[in-house]
Amino acid sequence: MSQKDVYTQLAERIFMPDSRLLPRLWRMIVDEEEARILLATPATAEALAQEFGLPLEEMEKKLAVLFRKGVLFKKDKSGGIVYRTCRDVAQFHDASILWPEAPKEYYDLWKRYMKEEWPDFARAISQVLPKPFTRVVPVEQPVEARNRILACEDVERILRDSGRVAVTKCTCRLIEGNCDKPVEVCLQVGKGADYAIERGSGREIDVEEAMRILRSCEEAGLVHVTMNRASDSHIICNCCGDCCMTFTLISKGISLCDPSRFLALVDPGKCSGCGTCLERCLFGAVSMAEHDDAEVSSVDAAKCMGCGLCQITCPEGAISMKAVREESFIPS
Ligand code: SF4
Ligand code: SF4
Ligand code: SF4
């Protein structure tokens, strides 16, 4: 079997059989023997050692290297620890970009992949997914309907309920570098934190530090995003409009992220027309419109993602966040 074959097979394993660039990315991060080991998963270390004719200790060392690179994951099952390679291209992206020894060429090739191949693939999966993978979480303070907010849309509750928190670098901004927003702000929670800490790709932090990071992200104009489910999320991302693998697709009509259940509403009687909200909105949802001979802010409900970034910086207190979607909007 030629080298090209194993790397193409790895691209097929993450549902990209026709990709030109993913086999090249795989070739940069694993040698041919490592590729064969990945292709032999899911399997235990014992089974892999036997298949490759290696002592168990030697195989475990190879698996540890692959785990550290972010291309191998482990799960504790009744028959022992089972190893598997990346589930899909998003996991390959998120985990392997934090490969500590990644050369610049690896980032450059990912950047090319995100430009040339990711949008078409994302469009295809967005058309078959019942719901987007991720969802915007509103900033904490502005939501007026506090009694109606759910645990899964309250960043502090997500952090406190998770048991463990770690912070890693934002992989989108690492490779794209299109903005100067903070990079070490991806919060891994629960199982996500366990993985990042064991792998060494993240550092453990307490909830107070995590909350400080979230506040600094809000000031910087980053939008909180979590997994689109009612419980057991593994991550709170803090996304920008220039680099994010999801938000940069919105203008192309591709939706991999749901809005929150909230919508920004402007009180035209209070608005001074300062334009701060126009600058803060990543989604082009705000425009200025005439109202009683004055120019005031107006929010397009179809574009508003319910992030709350405009509300917390409105100097006139003219913006409120209203729940406009049912609780059942969030998948269980
Ligand atoms: S999804 Fe958002 S926070 Fe996560 S890596 Fe991408 S831009 Fe960064
Ligand atoms: S930030 Fe507030 S006062 Fe300024 S334009 Fe927006 S709604 Fe009006
Ligand atoms: S108008 Fe823009 S900034 Fe304000 S909540 Fe909606 S998406 Fe966020």
CA of 95, nearest ligand number: 1
Q: Which structure tokens are listed for 1?
A: 């079997």
Q: Is 171's C-beta closer than 6 angstroms to any atom of ligand 1?
A: yes
Using the 8-state DSSP alphabet, how is residue 143 labeled?
B
Residue 142 pLDDT > 70, yes or no? no
Residue 208 pLDDT > 60, yes or no? yes
Residue 199 pLDDT > 70, yes or no? yes
Residue 91 pLDDT > 50, yes or no? yes
- Across the range 23-30, mean pLDDT stands at 98
3-state DSSP helix/strand/coil % of the chain, to nearest 5: 40, 20, 40
CA of 118 to the centre of ligand 1 (A): 15
CA of 134 to the centre of ligand 2 (A): 28
CA of 315, nearest ligand number: 2
Q: Is 172's C-beta closer than 6 angstroms to any atom of ligand 1?
A: yes
| Distance from chain centroid for Cα 127 | 19
* Ligand 3 environment, Cβ below 6 A: 264, 280-281, 283, 285-286, 299, 304-310
Q: Which structure tokens are listed for 44?
A: 């235990």
Mutate to test the pocket of ligand 3, among 281, 319, 321 (most ligand atoms within 8 A of CB): 281
Provide the pLDDT for residue 141. Answer: 59
In the three-class reduction of DSSP (H, G, I as helix; E, B as strand; rest coil), residue 275 is classed as coil
Reported as a single tens digit per residue, the pLDDT across 155-190 is 888 899 888 999 999 999 999 999 999 999 999 999
- Across the range 298-317, mean pLDDT stands at 96
In the three-class reduction of DSSP (H, G, I as helix; E, B as strand; rest coil), residue 13 is classed as helix
Q: Is 214's C-beta closer than 6 angstroms to any atom of ligand 1?
A: no
Q: Which structure tokens are listed for 86?
A: 């990346």
Residue 59 pLDDT > 90, yes or no? yes
Helix 155-162 to helix 207-220 angle (10° resolution) is 150
CA distances to 20, 44, 54, 140, 331 from 2, rounded to whole Å, are 16, 26, 22, 53, 44
Reported as a single tens digit per residue, the pLDDT across 40-51 is 999 999 999 999
DSSP β-ladder status, 257-258 and 134-136: parallel
Q: Going from the N-terminus, what domains does the chain have, and what CATH number goes with each?
A: 3-89 (1.10.10.10), 127-257 (no CATH), 259-325 (3.30.70.20)
Reported as a single tens digit per residue, the pLDDT across 234-245 is 899 999 999 999
- Across the range 207-232, mean pLDDT stands at 94
Atom of ligand 3 nearest to the CA of 300: 1
Mean per-residue pLDDT over the chain, rounded: 93
For residue 95, the surrounding DSSP H or E stretch is helix 89-96
Using the 8-state DSSP alphabet, how is residue 328 labeled?
G
Lowest mean pLDDT among 55-64, 204-213, 323-332: 323-332
CA–CA separation, 38 and 32 (whole Å): 10
pLDDT over 90, % of the chain: 86
Q: Is 167's C-beta closer than 6 angstroms to any atom of ligand 1?
A: no
- Across the range 292-321, mean pLDDT stands at 95
Provide the pLDDT for residue 292. Answer: 87
CA of 247, nearest ligand number: 1
**103: how many CB neighbours lie within 10 A of its CB?**
11
* Ligand 2 environment, Cβ below 6 A: 266, 271-277, 296-297, 314-316, 318-319
Residue 222 pLDDT > 80, yes or no? yes
Amino acid sitting at position 272: S
Structural contact between residues 228 and 330, judged by C-beta atoms closer than 8 angstroms: yes
Provide the pLDDT for residue 233. Answer: 84
CA distances to 39, 44, 61, 156, 327 from 77, rounded to whole Å, are 20, 10, 20, 31, 34
- Across the range 104-131, mean pLDDT stands at 96
Which residue, judged by its Cα, is nearest atom 1 of ligand 2? 314
Provide the pLDDT for residue 232. Answer: 82
Residue 3 pLDDT > 50, yes or no? no
Phi/psi at 142 (5° precision): -75, -15
Structural contact between residues 227 and 235, judged by C-beta atoms closer than 8 angstroms: yes
CA of 144 to the centre of ligand 2 (A): 18
Q: Can you tell me the ipTM of this complex?
A: 0.94
pLDDT tier for residue 79 given thresholds of 50, 70 and 90: confident
pLDDT tier for residue 147 given thresholds of 50, 70 and 90: low
Provide the pLDDT for residue 150. Answer: 77
Provide the pLDDT for residue 34. Answer: 98
Residue 308 pLDDT > 50, yes or no? yes
- Across the range 248-256, mean pLDDT stands at 94
Give residues with Cβ within 8 angstroms of 218, minimum separation 6. Answer: 139, 224, 309, 312
Q: Is 187's C-beta closer than 6 angstroms to any atom of ligand 1?
A: no
Helix 22-29 to helix 104-116 angle (10° resolution) is 160
CA of 44 to the centre of ligand 1 (A): 32
CA–CA separation, 177 and 97 (whole Å): 13
pLDDT tier for residue 151 given thresholds of 50, 70 and 90: confident
